[in-house]
Structure 1
Amino acid sequence: MEVHLLQDIVLILGLSAAVIFLFQRLNLPTIPGYLLAGIIAGPSGMKLVAVSHEVEQLSEIGVILLLFIIGMEFSLKTLKEFRKIVLIGGALQTGGTILAAYGSAFLLGFPWREAVFLGFLVALSSTAIVLKSLQERHELHTPHGKVALSILIFQDIMVAPMILVLPALAGTEAGSGGEDLLLTFLKAVALIGGVFAAARFVIPSLLFQISKTKSRELFILTIVVLCFTIAWASHAVGLSLALGAFAAGLAISESDYSHQATGVVIPFQEVFASFFFVSIGLLADVSFIGQHLGTIIGLTLAVIMVKMILSGASVKALGFPWRTALLSGFLLFQIGEFSFVLSGSGLQLGLISGETYQYFLSVSILTMTLTPFGIQLSHVLAGKFKHSSASGTFAGAAVSVKDLHDHLVIIGMGVGGKNVAKAARLANIPYLVLEADPGIVRLETSNGEPIHFGDGTLPSMLKLVGVPTARVVVITISDPKGVQSMVSSIRSISSSVHIITRVKYVQEGNETLRRGANEAIPEEFESSIAIFSRVLHRYLVPENQIQTYADEVRANNYEMLGSRKHQVLSPLPYMDIPQLNISCVKAGPRKNEIIGKTLREADIRNKYGVNLLAVERDGQYLGDIHPEVCLLPNDLLFLAGTIADINRFQQKIEL
Structure 2
Amino acid sequence: MAGEVVAHAAEAAHHGVDLVPIVALLAAGTIAVPLFKRLGLGAVLGYLAAGLLLGPSGIGLISDPASILAAAELGVVLFLFIIGLEMEPSRLWALRKQIFGLGVVQVVVCGALLTGVGILLGFAPAVAFVFGMGFVLTSTAIVMQILGERGELATEGGQKMVSILLLEDLAIVPLLAVVALLAPSHDETDLITRVVALGIAVGAIVLLIFLGRKIMNPFFGLLAQARVREVMTAGALLVVLGAALLFQVSGLSMAMGAFLAGVLLSTSAFKHQLEADVEPFRGLLLGLFFLAVGMSLDLEVVWDNWQIIAMSVVAYMLVKALAIYIIARLLKSDHGEALERAVLMGQGGEFAFVLYTTAASTGLIDAPTNAIFTATVIVSMVLTPFAIIGMRYLMPGPVQSMDGVETANGLSSRVLIIGFGRFGQIVSQPLLALRHSVSIIDNDTDMIRAAAQIGFKVYYGDGTRLDILHAAGASTADLILVCTDKKEQTTRIVELLRDEFPLAKVMARAFDRQHGIELVRAGAEYQLRETFESALAFGSAAVTLLGATAEEAEEVMEGVRGRDRQRFERQLAGEDWRDLSQLLISNAQEQAREGGVSISEENAERAVTQTQAS
Q: TM-score range by the shorter chain?
A: 0.5 to 0.7
Q: Which position in structure 2 is the counterpart of 1:134?
A: 147
Structure 2 residues without counterparts, runs of 5 or longer: 1-12, 408-442, 452-459, 473-484, 493-508, 520-526, 548-614
Alpha-carbon distance, 1:356 to partner: 3.2
Pick aligned residue for 1:172 from 148, 172, 185: 185
Q: Which position in structure 2 is the counterpart of 1:88?
A: 101
Pick aligned residue for 1:48 from 41, 61, 66: 61
Whether 1:572 and 2:540 are equivalent positions in the alignment is: yes
Letter in 1 for 2:296: L
Cα distance in structure 1, aligned partners of 2:488 and 2:359: 50
Q: Is the 8 A contact 2:134 2:348 kept in 1?
A: yes
Q: Is the 8 A contact 2:135 2:348 kept in 1?
A: yes
Pick aligned residue for 2:448 from 472, 478, 488: 472
Letter in 2 for 1:572: S
Q: 1:576 to 1:25 in 2, by over 3 A?
A: closer
Pick aligned residue for 2:293 from 257, 280, 283: 280
Q: 1:195 to 1:406 in 2, by over 3 A?
A: farther
Higher RCO (C-alpha 8 Å, min separation 6): 2
TM-score (norm: length of structure 1): 0.60
Alpha-carbon distance, 1:176 to partner: 8.6
Aligned with 2:396: secondary structure?
helix
Aligned with 1:253: secondary structure?
coil
Q: Which position in structure 2 is the counterpart of 1:307?
A: 320
Q: 1:5 to 1:351 in 2, by over 3 A?
A: farther
Aligned with 1:381: secondary structure?
coil
Q: 1:118 to 1:510 in 2, by over 3 A?
A: farther
Q: 1:192 to 1:85 in 2, by over 3 A?
A: farther
Whether 1:34 and 2:19 are equivalent positions in the alignment is: no
Pick aligned residue for 1:351 from 364, 387, 396: 364
Q: 1:122 to 1:470 in 2, by over 3 A?
A: closer
Give 1:283-302 correspondences, 5 Å limit. 283-293=296-306, 295-302=308-315
Whether 1:365 and 2:378 are equivalent positions in the alignment is: yes
Cα distance in structure 2, aligned partners of 1:300 and 1:8: 31
Q: Is the 8 A contact 2:117 2:315 kept in 1?
A: no
Q: Which position in structure 2 is the counterpart of 1:323?
A: 336
Q: Which position in structure 2 is the counterpart of 1:226?
A: 239
Q: Which position in structure 2 is the counterpart of 1:454?
A: none
Q: Which position in structure 2 is the counterpart of 1:549?
A: none
Q: 1:5 to 1:98 in 2, by over 3 A?
A: farther
Letter in 1 for 2:27: G
Aligned with 1:109: secondary structure?
coil
Give 1:75-224 correspondences, 5 Å limit. 75-173=88-186, 187-224=200-237
Q: Is the 8 A contact 2:405 2:449 kept in 1?
A: no
TM-score (norm: length of structure 2): 0.63
Alpha-carbon distance, 1:46 to partner: 1.1
Q: Is the 8 A contact 2:80 2:259 kept in 1?
A: yes
Aligned with 1:472: secondary structure?
helix
Letter in 2 for 1:473: R
Q: Is the 8 A contact 1:166 1:175 kept in 2?
A: no
Letter in 1 for 2:83: I
Q: Is the 8 A contact 1:170 1:351 kept in 2?
A: yes
Q: Is the 8 A contact 1:560 1:566 kept in 2?
A: no
Cα distance in structure 2, aligned partners of 1:385 and 1:575: 48
Q: Is the 8 A contact 1:134 1:145 kept in 2?
A: yes
Q: Is the 8 A contact 2:86 2:266 kept in 1?
A: yes
Alpha-carbon distance, 1:33 to partner: 1.6
Alpha-carbon distance, 1:73 to partner: 2.7
Aligned with 1:121: secondary structure?
helix
Alpha-carbon distance, 1:180 to partner: 6.1
Aligned with 1:273: secondary structure?
helix
Q: Is the 8 A contact 1:405 1:469 kept in 2?
A: yes
Q: Which position in structure 2 is the counterpart of 1:547?
A: none
Q: Which position in structure 1 is the counterpart of 2:255?
A: 242
Cα distance in structure 1, aligned partners of 2:461 and 2:342: 24
Q: 1:495 to 1:207 in 2, by over 3 A?
A: farther
Q: Is the 8 A contact 2:297 2:378 kept in 1?
A: yes
Alpha-carbon distance, 1:165 to partner: 2.3
Alpha-carbon distance, 1:242 to partner: 0.8
Alpha-carbon distance, 1:280 to partner: 1.3
Cα distance in structure 2, aligned partners of 1:274 and 1:240: 20
Alpha-carbon distance, 1:575 to partner: 4.0
Q: Is the 8 A contact 1:203 1:255 kept in 2?
A: no
Q: 1:470 to 1:326 in 2, by over 3 A?
A: closer
Alpha-carbon distance, 1:511 to partner: 11
Cα distance in structure 2, aligned partners of 1:60 and 1:265: 15
Cα distance in structure 1, aligned partners of 2:186 and 2:513: 74
- Count residues in correspondence: 448
Alpha-carbon distance, 1:56 to partner: 3.0
Q: 1:386 to 1:309 in 2, by over 3 A?
A: farther
Once the two structures are superposed, residues 291-316 of structure 1 have per-residue CA deviations (whole angstroms, 9 ceiling, x without a partner) of: 55455333222211111122233334
Give 1:472-621 correspondences, 5 Å limit. 472-474=448-450, 566-567=528-529, 568-569=532-533, 570=536, 571-573=539-541, 574-576=543-545
Letter in 1 for 2:449: V
Pick aligned residue for 2:30 from 17, 24, 28: 17
Alpha-carbon distance, 1:355 to partner: 4.0
Q: Which position in structure 2 is the counterpart of 1:375?
A: 388
Aligned with 1:383: secondary structure?
coil
> What CA RMSD, in Å, does the superposition of the two structures yield over aligned residues?
4.3
Structure with greater helix share of residues:
2
Q: Is the 8 A contact 1:199 1:255 kept in 2?
A: no
Alpha-carbon distance, 1:174 to partner: 5.7
Once the two structures are superposed, residues 218-262 of structure 1 have per-residue CA deviations (whole angstroms, 9 ceiling, x without a partner) of: 211211111111112222322100111111222222112222211
Alpha-carbon distance, 1:359 to partner: 2.9
Q: 1:12 to 1:289 in 2, by over 3 A?
A: same
Give 1:247-286 correspondences, 5 Å limit. 247-286=260-299
Q: Which position in structure 1 is the counterpart of 2:495?
A: none
Once the two structures are superposed, residues 252-292 of structure 1 have per-residue CA deviations (whole angstroms, 9 ceiling, x without a partner) of: 22112222211111111122222211221222122343455
Q: Which position in structure 2 is the counterpart of 1:69?
A: 82
Aligned with 2:449: secondary structure?
strand
Letter in 2 for 1:311: I
Cα distance in structure 1, aligned partners of 2:240 and 2:262: 7
Q: 1:189 to 1:282 in 2, by over 3 A?
A: same
Which deviates more from structure 2 when the two are superposed, residues 18-27 or residues 555-564? 555-564
Cα distance in structure 2, aligned partners of 1:405 and 1:26: 39
Letter in 2 for 1:146: Q
